[in-house]
Every structure is written in structure tokens, then in C-alpha cells.
Structure 1
């Protein structure tokens, strides 16, 4: 009897492995193999052989250190902006009754599917050098040029990233607020607590897991954002993805581009691991 059970389990395990083998092989071929090629190329300098020389050259360059710092502060600033703005928007949608609140919540779901360059293009139409805001200013004042020129600066990139990624914070917050016991809010209000105190003592503690999960996701996405930086045309704003593009396409420095790509992947994977941990705790 025991032998039959063991044989059945072994057969079931074998069938499971056979079913899992094709998707795992496809995953390895499509994703892991190209990544392995990037890592291998990062260890092969133009002089030939295999060494850490490309890493030493890239880490010693001022361009890499500036790109790393720009990437980190833009991602961190965008994440903070998204958390603050997303929390306020989610509060209004969830707790301030107004006509069309459900439509706004649905639009946020649709907004998540928009490509990042589309949002940047919309901002260019509004705040670009020849955009609507500058056009209105010149029409009213008669000036030759408008005052809105921040879109091609780091602040323009920051605005575009906050605009695009805020819904990634709003969505988990709305889900968290939908699980909040309204009796707690009514009890706090009946005891004389003011709205700000209710937000700080009742709503915010319940929202912290969702804020952490949404913030972690936004941080990962901002670290890897390429389209927004490219489409704003911000001069002097070089992030790690932009540096990969510059080294590979403009300089033909493929080992250097692969080194920067490997660093970017390692940072992203580390933060994604953090995001998974926070998301798991948020669902618990």
C-alpha cells in the first residue's frame, strides 16, 4: 500500500515537472538568456578577454555618479510627491461625497494603462515653450516669450513622473479605504474629533500598508523610467536608463552600457523584493 502511494506521488511529481518545463524553458530563453548576455558583455572590455575593467571604468566616471545620484533623487522625490498627492486624492474620493466620485475612481483605473510618453506629451502641450500656458501669457501681456520653461529641467521631469505615477498610489489606497470600518470614523466624530485628527489617528494607520506598497512600486518604476526623461527633452538630466541609451547608441560603448544596465537591474530587483515584502504584509 505504501509503495503504491509513493509511486503515485512520484508519478504526480514527474507530470508536474513535465508541465512546468515548457514555460520555464520559454522564460529562460526570452528573459534570462538576454540578461545573461548583458552580464557577459559587461565583463568583456573592448580590448578583449574577460575582466572587471568595464566596471572599474564606469564606476570611476563622473557621468555614472551623476546619473546614479540624479536617478535616486528623482525617484525618491517623485515617490514622496506621489504618496502625498495620492493620499489626498484617495481621501477625497473615498470620504468626501461628490457627484461623479465613482467615475473618477474608474478613470484612475483607465489612467494606469496610459503610456508614460502620452502624459509627458500632454504636459508639453500645456507647459512647453510654445504650449498653451506660454501662449496665453504672451497673448495677455504682449511679451515675446512666456515664463513657463521648467518642463525641460529636472523639475519638469519630477512633475511628469508625479503626474503619471500618482494613480499607482491611489489605487491601493482606495482598496484599503474600502475595508475601513466606518463605525470608527463615526465614533471618533461623535466624540468631537476634528477631521485632521480623524485622518491622523484613524485613517492614516489603516492606510500605511497600502502607502508602503504603492510607494515601493512607484520607486521601482521611477528608477527605470526612460520615456518621461526622453520626451521632456530635459537638458542635463541623465538617469541610469538614459546613460545606458547614451553609451550604447551614441557612444557605441556596449560594455559600459551593459555595466550600467546591470547596476540598474540589481537596484530594481532589490527594491522589487522590498515591494513584494511590503505588499505581502499589506495583504496580511
Structure 2
């Protein structure tokens, strides 16, 4: 039996690479970005002030710290442009996540209920879009959604519309692009959970008189909640900062934080304000991550407790 002190040392040693990775590729870049966000733009290289001189003494460090300010965050809080961009980013990501949940849940359920020999093929079909460049796939949607594109052409030939619909460069096009691009991220976690569910639970509920819809609603869906939460987090977090899809499909009127960040960094050369926008993005995704963690822990604890199987009134 391994002594307790040695076991703790081994656990700490195993965690060390994780902490080193997070420190090198998250904490250090975050601190640098935070420092730049507290600076002021300048016509220099780098294009911000103050710049810390590591060779300086205590006086230089004191001057450096005193020169930092929160003016960029005041701008984000008071300027309607950035407030509207933040709200629009969250709204687009939330709406797309809800649509993804509605599409991916029955799709993953159908794959999990398929014969075992077909499931690898069906999962591969979900993953196939990943084999093509993300940028090329978004450009393909331009050819589909534009007024003379494939979608309008097909609808007009079917007689469903009399003139082309204006879909490209609208919020609808952005939602279509987000749902298409992130659908596999929602399907795969759901499938991983649904494929491990015990079929006896559904059979027991059906034997007690529950309809298929009620079995799905009261047995399958609650047990699939961890996969649904994981998929929601995987989709919502990157969609908040999405740039390519709103830029190509949404047009100039679509305002999201990803586009604002690109504009401030590359067009305006305002690195401090762009860094403040990046910090705002981190803050916007921390909340969903915390909520996901708490909801996942609650769902996991709920799996261990007994669940009443729905059925006929008075069933033994």
C-alpha cells in the first residue's frame, strides 16, 4: 500500500504538467493582455504606453504602475458601440446554442438508437465537414444564400417564392452559419452520453405504460443532460467571439465582439482598447463556464439518486 504522503506527491507531480501548460499558454498571455488593456495608445513600437523596463529599479516600477489606468474599460462601459456588440454576441451565441440543442438532440438520439454496425458511419458523416477548411465551408454558404444562389433558385423552381429572398448579410444568415459550423460540437457529446444509456430504463418505462414521447422527455432527456451541457459549453464559448461567420455572412451591419476586436487591433491600431475587448470576451465566457460546471456537477449527482420511472397510475 502506497503511503498517503507519497500518494499526494504523485498526484501533485501528475498535475504539474497541467499547471505548467495553463500557466504558459493561458495565465501569462492573459496577464500580458490585461497589462496592455490598462495602457494608452501611442505612435510607437509597441503602440502603447507605458512599457516596462525590466532593468529599471523600484522608481521605474512605481512610475510604470502609476501610469496604468482603466480608461479603456470606462470606454467599453459608456460607449454604446461596445455595449451593443457585447449584447449582440451573447444573443447570437445563445440563440444558436438553443437551435443547436433542438437539432442535435434528436439527431444524436437517432444515431444512438441505430444498429451498432451503422453508428460509426453515422458519426463519421457528422464529422465529415471537419475534413474541409472552415473558411471554404463558410464561403460555400455565400453561394447558397445569395439572392441568385442555390437556395433561392431551388425555392423559386418549386414555386414556393416568387422572388429571391434577402438572406445573405442578415442575422438569419449568421445564425445559419453558426448552427452549421458548430453542429458536430453539439452532436458528439450528446451521442457519447446517449450511446451509454441502459436500454432497460426505456423498456421499463414503456412496460409501465409511458408513451415514447414521455419516455424520451422524462427518462432519456434528463440522463442526457451532462452531454447537452457539455455541447452547449463547447458551442456557446467560441461563438461569443466568432469573427469569420459574422464578417462573411452578416455583412457590415452585423456587430459582434470578434469584429470589433479585429477592427480595433488591425484597422485602428488601438492595441489597449482591443486588449480590453479581449478581456471582456474572457469575462463573458467565464460565467457560462461556471454555470456549466455547477449544472454538470448537479446532473452528475442526480444520476446517482434513484429516479421514478413514469408509467401508469398505481403501477407497482
1:150 and 1:156 in contact (8 A); partners too? yes
Aligned counterpart, 1:203: 220
Q: Gaps spanning 5+ residues in structure 2: where?
A: 43-48, 50-66, 302-316
Compare the two structures and name the one with the higher helix fraction.
1
Aligned counterpart, 2:110: 92
Aligned counterpart, 1:132: 150
1:54 and 1:259 in contact (8 A); partners too? yes
Instruction: Give the CA deviation at 1:119.
Output: 3.3
Give the TM-score, by structure 1 length: 0.80
Q: What is the distance in 2 between the residues matched to 1:21 and 1:212?
A: 27
SS in 1 for 2:147: coil
Aligned counterpart, 2:56: none
Instruction: Give the CA deviation at 1:113.
Output: 6.3
- 1:1-284 correspondence to structure 2 within 5 Å: 16=13, 20=16, 24=20, 28-46=23-41, 49-95=67-113, 100-111=118-129, 116-136=134-154, 147-279=164-296
1:43 and 1:53 in contact (8 A); partners too? yes
Q: Deviations over 1:116-139 (max 9, x none)?
A: 434322322222234222344677
CA 260–283 in structure 1, closer or farther in 2 if over 3 Å, else same:
same
Instruction: Give the CA deviation at 1:78.
Output: 0.7
1:217 and 1:275 in contact (8 A); partners too? no
Q: CA RMSD in A?
A: 3.5
Give the TM-score, by structure 2 length: 0.73
Instruction: Give the CA deviation at 1:98.
Output: 11
CA 138–98 in structure 1, closer or farther in 2 if over 3 Å, else same:
farther
Instruction: Give the CA deviation at 1:262.
Output: 0.8
Q: Report the count of equivalent residues.
A: 272
SS in 2 for 1:193: coil
CA 118–100 in structure 1, closer or farther in 2 if over 3 Å, else same:
farther
Q: Gaps spanning 5+ residues in structure 1: where?
A: none
CA 197–131 in structure 1, closer or farther in 2 if over 3 Å, else same:
same
